[in-house]
Amino acid sequence: MRREVLEAMFPYFQQVFGNPSSVHALGAEAAVALTEARTEVAEVLGCLPDEVVFTSGGTESDNLAVLGAAEAGRSRGNHVLLSAIEHEAVLEAGRELRRRGFDVEEAPVDAYGRVHPTTLAQMVRKETILVSVMYVNNEIGTIQPIADLRAAVRERNPASPFHTDAVQAAGTLPLDVDHLGVDLLSLSAHKLYGPRGVGALYVRRGTELWPTLHGGGQERGLRSGTENVAGAVGLSRALSLAAAERSDEAPRLRRLSGELIERVTAGYSRIHLTGHPTERLPGHASFYLEDRSGESVLVELDRQGISCSSGSACHAGQTDPSHVLLAIGLSPELARNGLRLTLGRQTSAENVAEATERLLAILTEQPLTV
């Protein structure tokens, strides 16, 4: 977590500790902080403050969007359309909807992991009550053409709300909700050097949503529970700092990850880039190995002080093939051999050179058993 974020949060752990729903002075002071945090998030998203709902993170935001929009739209239809490479927070919500009797379909992707607007539009029906396509895939870094996808859906069914999971995109890609055209957008603070356990869901005015948590009616009745004021302050500060630095930081990360990808693929012929070669998240490098277990390489890199992932961080330690790599056409055997390296604010060119050297040494000089 960034020091600036921690310093912004600190007063709300000790000095301003009131419940923002209370009428006493301490509560009123906390309520002001919550309002300011909501306004700060709204400024980055280009929306109204009352369109921002604070949650416990990306998973809750995704669940509220998917389950809430589907239940609210049940009177209009029962068809829900998700992309095949969504985060499990969305896919599991989709499976829950199937158990509730909804018709849930998954839109295919191409070999780069992109959903084509024409394909998506052909799957939209008059009874479609929600479409959800993530802005950036967490495993392969592919950026989706969200504005084009939203336009294609609107042409076929103007009444169907559109949700995007923007958890990975926040900080390095633009988040203006009007430009994207989305009705629902999920965020998580920890992807922005903010605190864990807090996120937000943008809900466009007029979008019907049923709550998934019930209680005191906080967050305009959409997310009951005493608000995490310190967390909301941390999220808003982290998001505004990232937005202010994006024009410098995104090109730097894109350049560094490009160098990493070029060196790794040139240095070992049996490692291959996954995701789109250019329309990918700055600072994201993902591969699959022909002859090595991604998990084994990950363990060896970790021994050498390099932290990376063999797929989604939420599935660390699992041996099932990646659903994302399966969706882009890899065999189950190859889909177990994913490797993902991501760069951040503190990553330098020297770090990239050292990580590349160590990875290539592992691949070329220390054969691992698959």
> Looking at residue 368, what is its pLDDT?
44
CATH 3.90.1150.10 applies to domain 248-365: yes
User: β-strand 79-83 against 103-107: which pairing, if any?
Assistant: parallel
- pLDDT, tens only, 264-284: 999 999 999 999 999 999 999
- pLDDT, tens only, 175-190: 999 999 999 999 999 9
**202 phi, psi to nearest 5 deg:** -80, 130
Paired strand residues for 82: 106, 132
> Looking at residue 369, what is its pLDDT?
44
> Looking at residue 206, what is its pLDDT?
96
pTM over 0.85: yes
Q: What is the mean pLDDT of residues 296-322?
A: 80
Q: What percent of the chain has pLDDT over 90?
A: 91
> Looking at residue 365, what is its pLDDT?
77
Paired strand residues for 336: none
**Residues 234/238/239/240 CA torsion (nearest 10 deg):** 100
Q: Name the residues annotated as catalytic.
A: 314
- Domain(s) of CATH 3.90.1150.10: residues in the chain: 248-365
Q: What is the mean pLDDT of residues 117-131?
A: 97
Residue pair 282/250 in contact by the 8 Å Cβ criterion: yes
Architecture of domain 3-242: 3-Layer(aba) Sandwich (3.40)
Residue pair 209/129 in contact by the 8 Å Cβ criterion: no
Q: Is 128 helix (H, G, I), strand (E, B) or coil?
A: strand
Per-residue confidence at 292, pLDDT binned at 50, 70, 90? Answer: confident
Contact partners, residue 267, CB within 8 Å, separation at least 6: 356, 360, 363, 364
> Looking at residue 318, what is its pLDDT?
57
- Domain(s) of CATH 3.40.640.10: residues in the chain: 3-242
Task: Please state, as a whole number, how many other Cβ atoms lie within 10 Å of the Cβ of residue 189.
Answer: 28
